[in-house]
């Protein structure tokens, strides 16, 4: 008999009932150090006082009215995002997947309204992850996600990650945009070098294409800048955001320039829940904290300390670990043993990590991780590595 919850996840046998900062408390009382943050969602950790207060205050006033009316909290969050980014306008969604859907529609509608309806193709890259909707899996193109779900949405051209020559060669009269994650998350924490992001921006400018950045996982302070593309000194035309922007409350957004968004007029897109008062009240509190330069400076300082500790960990366990990669608090450890074995050993030692492609474990901790948390994380990861080494000796 099928369980009442559709079994699409291989869930760990853990039930967390409470969270405090970077810590999760299991139903049996055990305390786990959370280096996953709900897959880069809990940017300010668990039960952050400012987020609890924002949600409580809004819940006592108004939960939902729909986008048939003006929503002051939505306007406030949009104003903050416009103030701190390249964007002129924002549409709010509930998730990264929904943000992907709108980004694709926006790019295609832009060229349709310019009298170039043939421009529908979007160049994407292997190892990418843009959600699990029909557009998202078609954009990524990996067999793992697309098998059995055909016919796939057309209009995507898939290239090898890092192949700039391939980008130029793939551009045709049908090309509308290039879509890329500045740091691949699910793909194994693979940063796009700054020079390559600059080159992609230049290619788009030279060929009259739109640059779409997927910052669902790498945005909202995760790399030590408010958004990861800032390190390269470039700006996109359209950007997908989610995860950390709600600090744990389901919230996403698409940010765009006025020009790129020009086709999205009344009636072209909508969302019943997107940008509701609850989500946007929490989002405002998140941005107020994360966009603060002092906060981001601390993220950079602590992420440097964390990376230093991880480099030492790898040196101590060459049988288990190979290298550290990533940026800020978006780090990956490439494993020599099976990454799932390392994740499971971490669970046994009460430290949460997240698996990814390329045999990588992801470390996506709350941006509020303390120095004591970092020391404890190192100790628990060290214990997990020793457990894996013992298993290798037995085998």
Q: Are 182 and 232 in contact (CB under 8 A)?
A: yes
Per DSSP, 235 falls in state -
Was 124 annotated as part of a binding site?
no
Cross-strand pairs, 360: 334, 356
Q: Is 214 annotated as a binding residue?
A: yes
Q: Give me the numbers of helices (H) and strands (E) for the chain, helices first please.
A: 12, 17
Q: Is 79 a known ligand-binding residue?
A: no
d(CA 121, CA 108): 8
Closest CA to 186 of 362, 388, 377: 362
Q: Is 73 annotated as a binding residue?
A: no
The rounded radius of gyration (Å) of the Cα atoms in the chain is 21
**Token code pair at residue 365:** 């901790």
**Residue 216 among known ligand-binding residues:** yes
Helices 339-348 and 371-394, axial angle in degrees (round to 10):
120
In three state form, how does the secondary structure of 257-312 look?
Answer: CCCCCCCCCCCCCCCCCCCCHHHHHHHHHHHHHHCCHHHHHHHHHHHHHHHHHHHH
Strand order in the sheet with 321-327: 321-327, 330-335, 360-363, 354-356
Exposed e or buried b for every residue in 314-348, given b needs 16+ CB within 10 A?
beebeebbeebbbbbbbbbbbbbbebebbbbbbbe
Whether 129 has a binding-site annotation, put simply, is yes
- What CA–CA distance (Å, rounded) separates 316 from 110? 53
Residue positions forming the annotated binding site for pyridoxal 5'-phosphate: 96-97, 129, 214-217, 272
Residue positions forming the annotated binding site: 96-97, 129, 132, 214-217, 271-272
Residue positions forming the annotated binding site for N(2)-acetyl-L-ornithine: 132, 271
């Amino acid at each position: 008999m099928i369980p009442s919850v559709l079994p699409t996840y291989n869930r760990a046998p853990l039930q967390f009932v409470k969270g405090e900062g970077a810590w999760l408390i299991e139903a049996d009382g055990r305390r786990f150090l959370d280096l996953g943050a709900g897959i880069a969602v809990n940017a300010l950790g668990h039960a952050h006082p400012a987020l609890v207060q924002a949600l409580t205050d809004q819940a006592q006033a108004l939960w939902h009215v729909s986008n048939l009316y003006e929503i002051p909290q939505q306007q406030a969050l949009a104003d903050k995002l416009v103030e701190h980014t390249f964007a002129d306008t924002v549409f709010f969604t509930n998730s990264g997947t929904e943000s992907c859907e709108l980004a694709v529609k926006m790019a295609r509608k832009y060229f349709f309204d310019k009298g170039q309806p043939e421009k529908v193709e979007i160049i994407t890259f292997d190892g990418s992850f843009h959600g699990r909707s029909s557009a998202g899996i078609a954009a990524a193109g990996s067999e793992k996600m697309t098998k059995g779900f055909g016919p796939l949405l057309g209009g995507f051209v898939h290239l090898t990650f890092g192949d700039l020559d391939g980008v130029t060669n793939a551009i045709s009269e049908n090309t509308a945009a290039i879509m890329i994650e500045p740091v691949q998350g699910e793909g194994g924490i693979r940063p796009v070098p700054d020079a390559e992001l600059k080159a992609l921006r230049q290619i788009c400018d030279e060929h009259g294409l739109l640059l779409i950045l997927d910052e669902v996982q790498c945005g909202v302070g995760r790399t030590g800048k408010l958004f990861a593309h800032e390190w390269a000194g470039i700006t996109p035309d359209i950007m997908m955001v989610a995860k950390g922007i709600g600090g744990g409350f389901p919230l996403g957004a698409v940010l765009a320039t006025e020009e790129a968004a020009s086709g999205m007029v009344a009636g072209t897109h909508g969302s019943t829940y997107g940008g509701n008062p609850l989500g946007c009240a929490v989002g405002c509190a998140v941005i107020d904290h994360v966009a603060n330069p002092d906060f981001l400076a601390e993220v950079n300082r602590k992420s440097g300390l964390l990376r230093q500790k991880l480099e030492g960990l790898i040196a101590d366990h060459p049988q288990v670990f190979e290298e550290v990669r990533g940026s800020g608090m978006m780090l990956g450890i490439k494993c020599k043993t099976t990454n799932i074995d390392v994740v499971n050993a971490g669970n046994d030692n009460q430290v949460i990590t997240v698996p990814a492609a390329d045999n990588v474990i992801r470390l996506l901790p709350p941006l509020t991780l303390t120095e004591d948390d970092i020391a404890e994380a190192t100790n628990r990861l060290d214990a997990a590595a020793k457990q894996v080494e013992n298993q290798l000796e037995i085998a």
